[in-house]
Structure 1
């Protein structure tokens, strides 16, 4: 990702984003929390893509070049934190679980960023405290660097429902399934089935944000049935796709 803007102070604010809206690549000298109060946001960096539905937030460390995109009508909430404030001790982007209390804290803290009252300082202290115990959620789609993996992953990004085996895909990109298995582990830090499931869940969230019916999402993302999709989705996000749509 090419760096195009340097915005030294990470803003704290709330703003609506229409479907498809983009915030171009930029970086801050501060840390930032990105949260979707409504809709779904994707955050892209050189290292990979992260998805933020309404029960997830994205931690963006200071100095990380990143871009946002809204899927469905979204409500963006940004919390900027000075580089000295890192309650999670994270030096790379991460997906954080957002429970009811943390959600309300983020919404309240971004509602009036100009407020300098003692009450707001106390709110900030509780927000930092909740962030420090927020569970990490492994929902990250890393970008490959090996040319063979780049080609293979591009095929599946173009059609997440492509159900070919690793051996069959390997014949198309000129690598054996054994070589590709090793590359998935070393280059992406996960197995081929894990990466493909992450890709399909990533794509499913974007389709759901556009109000695509659950049965159509399951088909377009490569699940054999709606019930199989619902089961995987529930295990990944803690609720069903129907609940997510509502």
Structure 2
């Protein structure tokens, strides 16, 4: 364990217990995909994002694909420069390199530089400055509270390629289309199309991290052709599936 939090190699499906830390921390997936669950919802953290969880927020992590998780805890004086709520930032190249430097090499060589306290403090300040300059770009799956939406979410998660309409899904759980549409707007701030697209992209992130190619992933997640999948994925994630795969 490194003093700054460290490196943790998690097999696919590994889940941490619910926990709360006094200090806020940054989480980065150098490989694989992490899901960070807080009371605000589920944030997806692929290799081009950094997740921030302030001190005092209950949370837990789940690995999708074999995941190289990096954790950096921040002192209160540095943490106050970041939001007082969970957030996900687009990671610059410099931010990624600083995270790796603070938590060990990316490969399996244990030989890593040992920084003095003052050098580490400077690196942490560079990291936080980079995140403050970056725009927040969450990949968030809001957690529905209503039991009817939860039931629909389960069906969509179990069968992401299913193209059932909202009316068909509602019939299966005994809820009308108008009711479900209203709940989606009020609870999640999304249309059904937007919500299902986010759920599908979430599954695509997992499949790509597990090594599936773009075409197979597109079909498994409900897209009839790869070009439509690439467009939706790029719009939400900020990079193409092919580039994302090479980073995972």
TM range (shorter): 0.7 to 0.9
Q: CA RMSD in A?
A: 2.0
Q: How far 1:72 moved relative to its partner?
A: 2.2
TM superposition score normalised by structure 2: 0.87
Instruction: Tell me the SS of whatever aligns to 1:234.
Output: helix
**Following the alignment from structure 2 to structure 1, what is the Cα–Cα distance between the partners of residues 93 and 149?**
39
1:171-228 CA-to-partner distances (Å, cap 9, x unmatched) read 2222221111111111122222111111001010011111122212111111111111
**Following the alignment from structure 1 to structure 2, what is the Cα–Cα distance between the partners of residues 72 and 147?**
29
Tell me if the contact between 1:144 and 1:150 (Cα under 8 Å) persists in the aligned partners: yes
- 1:64 equivalent in alignment to 2:62: no
Instruction: Tell me the SS of whatever aligns to 1:23.
Output: coil
Structure 1 residue aligned with 2:13, among 9, 20, 36?
Answer: 20
Segments ≥4 residues shifted beyond 6 Å? none
**Following the alignment from structure 2 to structure 1, what is the Cα–Cα distance between the partners of residues 174 and 184?**
15
- 1:89 equivalent in alignment to 2:86: no
> Across the two proteins, how many residue pairs are aligned to each other?
236
Which ranges of structure 1 fall in alignment gaps of 5 or more residues?
A: 1-9
Residue aligning to 1:116: 116
TM superposition score normalised by structure 1: 0.88
- 1:150 equivalent in alignment to 2:150: yes
Tell me if the contact between 1:87 and 1:131 (Cα under 8 Å) persists in the aligned partners: no
**Following the alignment from structure 2 to structure 1, what is the Cα–Cα distance between the partners of residues 7 and 115?**
14
**Following the alignment from structure 1 to structure 2, what is the Cα–Cα distance between the partners of residues 113 and 131?**
23
**Following the alignment from structure 1 to structure 2, what is the Cα–Cα distance between the partners of residues 219 and 40?**
20
| 1:32-111 mapped onto 2 (5 Å cutoff) | 32-84=25-77, 85-91=79-85, 93-111=86-104
143-152 or 65-74: bigger deviation: 65-74
Residue aligning to 2:240: 240
Q: How far 1:83 moved relative to its partner?
A: 4.3
**Following the alignment from structure 2 to structure 1, what is the Cα–Cα distance between the partners of residues 202 and 113?**
31
**Following the alignment from structure 2 to structure 1, what is the Cα–Cα distance between the partners of residues 68 and 53?**
18
Residue aligning to 2:174: 174
